[in-house]
C-alpha cells in the first residue's frame, strides 16, 4: 500500500529519509506536520504547550471537538489516522532535549514558535547538534522561511507573538507546503515575500 501512495512522487527525488523536530504546532506547524507525513517522512517529534482555541479553526483542518486539546497531540492523532507507519511523538510543552531518544540523530529543527528567546534556544540547540535549522512565520499576508531566526525581507526582525496579527488559512498553508519542499528537496533555499507576489507574473 505504501508504494502505491508515493508512486507519483518517486521521480521528483524527494528526500524522505530524514528525522524532524517541530517546535510549535499551530497554524503553520500543524499543517507542516500533516504535509510532511503525507510526503513520506517517517520520524517526527513535536512540541507545543498550547491548546486548540476556536480562533485556530480558520487555519487548521480539525473538528470542533478538538477545541481545548493540546495542539501537538491533535496533530499526532490526525497523522496516525492518515499514516500508521509514521513514528510521530507529541509533547505538550516547550521543546525539551530530555524528551529526545539518546539513540536517534535528527536532521532538521523546524521552528514555528513566535517568541524570540525561544527561537534563540532552538537555533542554538540545532547548531550544537549539527542539525539544519529553519524558522517559519507569517504576518497577515507576509510569509517567511529562513535558515536563521526570522528576518523579513526589509531586514527588520519579526515581532514576538501573533495574538493581534491577522491569521488565515492561505499563508499558513503556503508556508507549511513550501517548508516541506525546502527540507525534502530544496534545503539551500529561503523565501520572504507577500502573498500577492505570487500573482505578479505576466503571461
**Beta strands in the chain, from DSSP E residues, in sequence order:** 19-23, 43-47, 87-91, 108-111, 132-139, 142-146, 191-194
* Residue 172, C-alpha cell as written in the block: 499558513
Whether 127 and 133 have beta carbons less than 8 Å apart is answered as: yes
- Angle between helix axes 27-38 and 71-82 (nearest 10 degrees) is 20
- Give dist(CA 23, CA 95) in Å, integer: 6
- Residues whose CB is less than 8 angstroms from the CB of residue 120 and which lie 6 or more positions away in sequence, other chains included: 149
CATH topology of domain 16-199: Rossmann fold (3.40.50)
The domain limits of the chain are 16-199
Q: What is the pLDDT along the chain (203 residues), one digit of tens a residue?
A: 567 899 999 999 999 999 999 999 999 999 999 999 999 999 999 999 999 999 999 999 999 999 999 999 999 999 999 999 999 999 999 999 999 999 999 999 999 998 889 999 999 999 999 999 999 999 899 999 999 986 554 445 555 554 567 899 999 999 999 999 999 999 999 999 999 999 987 66
| pLDDT recorded at residue 165 | 76
Instruction: Report pTM.
Output: 0.93
Amino acid at each position: 500500500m505504501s508504494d502505491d501512495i508515493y508512486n507519483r512522487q518517486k521521480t521528483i527525488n524527494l528526500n524522505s529519509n530524514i528525522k524532524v523536530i517541530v517546535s510549535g504546532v499551530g497554524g503553520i506547524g500543524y499543517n507542516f506536520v500533516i504535509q510532511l507525513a503525507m510526503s513520506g517522512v517517517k520520524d517526527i517529534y513535536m512540541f507545543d504547550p498550547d491548546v486548540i482555541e476556536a480562533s485556530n479553526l480558520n487555519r487548521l483542518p480539525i473538528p470542533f471537538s478538538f477545541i481545548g486539546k493540546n495542539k501537538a497531540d491533535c496533530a499526532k492523532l490526525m497523522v496516525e489516522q492518515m499514516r500508521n507507519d509514521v513514528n510521530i511523538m507529541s509533547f505538550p510543552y516547550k521543546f525539551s532535549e530530555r524528551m529526545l531518544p539518546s539513540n536517534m540523530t535528527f536532521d532538521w529543527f523546524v521552528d514555528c514558535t513566535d517568541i524570540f528567546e525561544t527561537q534563540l534556544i532552538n537555533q542554538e540547540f540545532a547548531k550544537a547538534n549539527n542539525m539544519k535549522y529553519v524558522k517559519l512565520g507569517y504576518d497577515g499576508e507576509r510569509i517567511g522561511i529562513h535558515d536563521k531566526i526570522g528576518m523579513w525581507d526589509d531586514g527588520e526582525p519579526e515581532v514576538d507573538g501573533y495574538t493581534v496579527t491577522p491569521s488565515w488559512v492561505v499563508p499558513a498553508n503556503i508556508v507549511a507546503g513550501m517548508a516541506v519542499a525546502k527540507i525534502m528537496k530544496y534545503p539551500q533555499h529561503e523565501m520572504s515575500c507577500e502573498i500577492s507576489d505570487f500573482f505578479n507574473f505576466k503571461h
